[in-house]
Structure 1
Amino acid sequence: MMDFFNEHGIDLLYKTGEHLYISLAAILLGVLVAVPLGILLTRVPKFADRFVSFVGILQTIPSLAILAFFIPLVGIGKPPAILALFFYSLLPILRNTYIGVRGVNQGVVEAGRGMGMSRWQEIIKMEFPLALPVIMAGIRLSTVYLIGWAALAAFIGGGGLGDFIFDGLNLYKPTLILAGTIPATLLALAANRSLVLLENKLTPEGMKDSYKAA
């Protein structure tokens, strides 16, 4: 074990940083796009169901095919890997945002409206905070999946812990496979726990029990 760290320790730290960067960049893009879009779709429910289903169908495309699709557009390396992972992050966040906002107790929203809140204020001060537990569940799911899928970035020169995994497979060295797999698993667990803590911090105390499932 010590021999492995002496030989690959610095590389392991670097690859872990690459893996985390690729994953977080993709999930951040997913949140910035899918959360506002999910809220917007609650205003057009007849179109929303078809659109969410369409996104779900697109995500049945194999991940390697998505990676290959982006290569002619942005080349090889980290950019196509981030774009492909961003693509896969959309559905859980979009669906949970839509379901969460739609499931907010409308009596609470009507009370806010009666207090003179604008539509924008209703979203920011009422609907989004009340739907936050469901939205965060989608973000956590996407984050855990993306940290695992980020290993595929190694196929297109994106780096990350996938380099260890594929080198181990090619060289028949289980130690290298474990060197890529164990840190990726720990990153996923740490990210999930961090997002749970963030959710608890962002959700107002008085609103934690006010959410009513659809």
Structure 2
Amino acid sequence: MLTLGVQHVWLVALSVALSSTLGVLLGVLSYRRPGARRAVLAVTGAFLTIPSFALFVLLLGLVGLGTTPVVMALTLYGLLPVVRNTITGLLQVDPAVVESALGMGLSRRQRLLRIELPLAWPIVLTGIRVSTVVLVGIAAIGAIVNGPGYGNLIFNGLARVGSPVAADLVLAGTLGVVVVAVLFDAAYTVLGRLTTPKGLR
């Protein structure tokens, strides 16, 4: 259980890091352009409409079995909440604050990094948090392509339906996923307190 738990946490953490980096970047690049915003949100939203079994199998044909197809799929599934919240957070920054920064002579990049993103951070972090919880559950399905984590217990139990240990295996895997989700959520609570300015809490 402990080994599978470490694998599950690592798998989700890696996927969240990739989807968060890409999602924030897409949000920053598109939030000022309505057409680009709609296109980015439509594409990232379309990824969530693809059934996870189908996406894992499609990626299996491209990159083979193991961790790689799972990470790729989870990264795609995790984009929408991050992109949407990044765009929302940046659009909600008070224009007067941006104008003041402009009057102080800050460049576009400086305004983004020093003013806009810090003010939008609580909303962005909420998007990353939602994405993480979603990916914790989807990651379990990755066992269908030999991905790591608690999904292996669940699928082993399903493969042994009718045997005395089937229900125990499925229950153990399910509880493991729940515990990982709770741990991630607690970690985000602490992260939010440490990284959010007091005036924005």
Q: TM-score range by the shorter chain?
A: over 0.9
Answering whether residue 84 of structure 2 is matched by residue 95 of structure 1, we say yes
* TM-score (normalizing by structure 1): 0.88
- Alpha-carbon distance in 1 for matches of 2:178, 2:149: 13
- Where 2:93 maps in the other structure, the secondary structure is coil
Equivalent of 2:23, from 34, 38, 45?
34
In structure 2, the partner of 1:46 is 35
In structure 2, the partner of 1:197 is 190
Kept in 2, the 8 Å contact 1:132–1:199? The answer is no
Aligned pairs for 1:97-116 within 5 A = 97-116=86-105
In structure 2, the partner of 1:176 is 169
Q: Which amino acid aligns with 2:6?
A: G
* TM-score (normalizing by structure 2): 0.93
Equivalent of 2:51, from 56, 59, 62?
62
Cα deviation, 1:111-170, whole Å, max 9, x if unaligned, reads: 111111111111111111111111111100010010111101110011210111111122
Answering whether residue 134 of structure 2 is matched by residue 145 of structure 1, we say yes
* Greater alpha carbon shift after TM alignment, 163-172 vs 84-93: 163-172
* Greater alpha carbon shift after TM alignment, 52-61 vs 155-164: 52-61
Answering whether residue 146 of structure 2 is matched by residue 157 of structure 1, we say yes
Shift of 1:98: 0.7
- Where 2:49 maps in the other structure, the secondary structure is coil
- Where 2:149 maps in the other structure, the secondary structure is coil
Equivalent of 1:166, from 127, 145, 155?
155
Q: Which amino acid aligns with 2:189?
A: V
In structure 2, the partner of 1:124 is 113
Shift of 1:13: 1.4
* Structure 2 segments unaligned to the other structure (5+ residues): none
Shift of 1:21: 1.4
Aligned length: 197
Kept in 2, the 8 Å contact 1:89–1:146? The answer is yes
In structure 2, the partner of 1:4 is none
- Alpha-carbon distance in 1 for matches of 2:8, 2:117: 30
The 3 A distance-change label for structure 1 pair 147 and 58 is: closer
Shift of 1:77: 0.5
Kept in 1, the 8 Å contact 2:47–2:76? The answer is no
Q: Structure 1 residue runs of 4+, over 4 Å off?
A: none
Answering whether residue 175 of structure 2 is matched by residue 186 of structure 1, we say no
- Alpha-carbon distance in 2 for matches of 1:62, 1:29: 21
Kept in 2, the 8 Å contact 1:42–1:101? The answer is yes
Cα deviation, 1:4-45, whole Å, max 9, x if unaligned, reads: xxxxxxxx1111111111111111100111101101111222
